[in-house]
């Protein structure tokens, strides 16, 4: 992994909220990988496409 081109993975929590996580760093409790990895903008584009309701899952029901 290059310092000038860091890689990320998209993660999601139980509430359906998305975030970026540095590739190779141990996963934080409560977050799960969704399968998208790559440069920051690629991951942000994935999140923008898939996270269409910003409310936590508990408020959506």
Residue 2 lies in a domain: no
- Kindly state whether residue 1 falls inside one of the protein's structural domains: no
C-alpha 17: how far from chain center: 8
Indicate the pLDDT class of residue 5, thresholds 50, 70 and 90: confident
- Residue 2 has a pLDDT of 52
The tally of domains found in the chain comes to 1
Domain housing 33:
7-60
CATH number of the domain residue 17 falls in: 3.90.820.10
Rounded to a whole number of angstroms, the distance between the first and last alpha carbons of the chain is 40
User: Which tens digit of pLDDT belongs to each residue from 12-46?
Assistant: 999 999 999 999 999 999 999 999 999 999 999 99
pTM for the whole thing?
A: 0.81
The reported pLDDT for the residue numbered 57 is 75
């Amino acid at each position: 992994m290059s310092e000038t081109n860091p890689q990320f993975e998209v993660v999601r929590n139980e509430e359906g909220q998305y975030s970026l996580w540095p590739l190779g760093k141990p996963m934080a409790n409560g977050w799960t990988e969704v399968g998208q990895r790559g440069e920051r903008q690629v991951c942000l584009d994935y999140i923008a496409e898939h996270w269409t309701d910003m409310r936590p899952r508990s408020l959506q029901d």
